[in-house]
Amino acid sequence: MPIYVDVSAAVHGKAGLGRYAGSLARALVEARPGAFAFFHNGKAPADALDRLPRVPVRSVPAGYKPWRLAVWWGQVLGVPFNRLVPEATLFHATEHLLMPLRDVPTVLTVHDLIFHLFPEYHKPLNYWYLRWTMPLYVRRADALIAVSEATRQDLIRLYGVPPAKVRVIPEAAAPHFRPAPAEDVARVRSRYQLPPRFLLTVGTIEPRKNLPRLFQALARLEGAKRPPLVVAGSKGWLYEETFRTVERLGLEGQVAFLGHVPEEDLPALYTAADLFVLPSLYEGFGLPVLEAMACGTPVVCSHAASLREVAGDAARYMDPRDPEAMAEVLREAWEDPDLRAALRARGLARAASFSWRRTAEETLALYDALLAERGGLPHPAGVKRNS
């Protein structure tokens, strides 16, 4: 009787959520072989499952929007979806969508409550969906994983969740995020036509990433003190102001938008950068900060939400709402090689203190505690692979 992990975000390549689901799935299977099966909605791209461990897989053909609606109404009407995960011992929803199950303990990972804290930064339909469904999913789950203490406190404060129901289990940089060899850096420099020195930011382009204020900060730096900025990430939503700000400030020649960068290129891209910057107004965790540190890239980031607990003393912090103050922090880090060397050393040590092995062990301990309450622990058993 397997434990099912929802890997939909990994299968469909949903940026940070996908990296979480994929990395956790790999670490769990390595820690407890034979105990797991995967679930996903929608048709998997040709190579998506090849990037995950070979375990039994169940899927439902519904696309993202129909599936979200079906799950919501299943929860409201009390219609169990057990046939989709046969013989499930436990089900772990790794993104903000918890299917209704009967007599099966469930775990829900909550990455953030950004829609609640910054409703103006969401599309109206997505905001209203999450506004109505997240309290329901949080209430129905037997246990919650928060990826940071900041997210845990948001759950307790905004939803009245009993503190004992929420366990903080942080993310980590995947093992392949490490300083890249010179030949890989040269290949990435050529492929993306990178400048000799540059700032890098990584993430989906959306309002909470706060890129317009970062551009305003750069515009305050003159001449050689203004570093080129490379932006790696797909367009998300409400991104128009980001591009308009570049044009309005006349920074077209100094800001390069790479779009989506395949994960296999990210370590070399981080390594090539002189400085990584994350100016977000809010992060539930802030995985790119750890990825940059693991690659030996000095980090400057916002002091908002979870970022201080993730980066500790290994980053320089800035007020994400003050472009003038942001500019000063960036200028100092860009011009001071000794500061960058110190941040690099502290960052490598900080990133090493997080690991997916530890995340998997803590997640398994949570599973075992839930299953013990139900009178049994999981044991390996097979279900047919169906992808």
Q: What is the Cα–Cα distance from 273 to 268, expressed in whole angstroms?
A: 9
Give me the mean pLDDT over the 327-356 stretch. 97
Per-residue pLDDT band at 289 (split at 50, 70, 90): very high
Q: pLDDT tens across 222-259, in order?
A: 876 789 999 999 988 888 999 999 999 999 989 999 99
- The class of domain 3-172+355-373 in CATH terms is alpha beta
Give me the mean pLDDT over the 337-343 stretch. 97
pLDDT exceeds 70 at position 376: no
pLDDT value of residue 45: 84
pLDDT exceeds 50 at position 168: yes
Per-residue pLDDT band at 46 (split at 50, 70, 90): confident
Q: pLDDT tens across 107-125, in order?
A: 999 999 999 999 888 888 8
Give me the mean pLDDT over the 198-206 stretch. 95
**Does the model's pTM come out above 0.85?**
yes
Beta-carbon neighbour count of residue 258 at 10 Å?
18
Q: pLDDT tens across 136-154, in order?
A: 999 999 999 999 999 999 9
- The class of domain 182-352 in CATH terms is alpha beta
Q: What is the Cα–Cα distance from 87 to 2, expressed in whole angstroms?
A: 7
Topology agreement, domain 3-172+355-373 and domain 182-352: yes
**Rg of the chain over all Cα atoms, to the nearest angstrom:** 21
pLDDT exceeds 50 at position 54: yes
Q: Which ranges of the chain does DSSP label H, i.e. alpha helix?
A: 8-11, 15-31, 64-77, 114-117, 124-140, 149-159, 182-192, 211-219, 240-248, 266-272, 287-294, 307-311, 323-335, 337-352, 356-373
Domains of the chain by residue range? 3-172+355-373, 182-352
pLDDT exceeds 50 at position 379: no
Candidate from 48-52, 262-266, 359-363 with smallest mean pLDDT: 48-52
Q: What separation in angstroms does the CA of 253 have from each of 229, 245, 247?
A: 10, 13, 10
Which residues does residue 229 pair with via DSSP β-bridges, in sequence order?
A: 199, 255
Report the candidate in 189, 166, 204, 150 with the shortest Cα–Cα distance to residue 271: 189
Beta-carbon neighbour count of residue 373 at 10 Å?
11
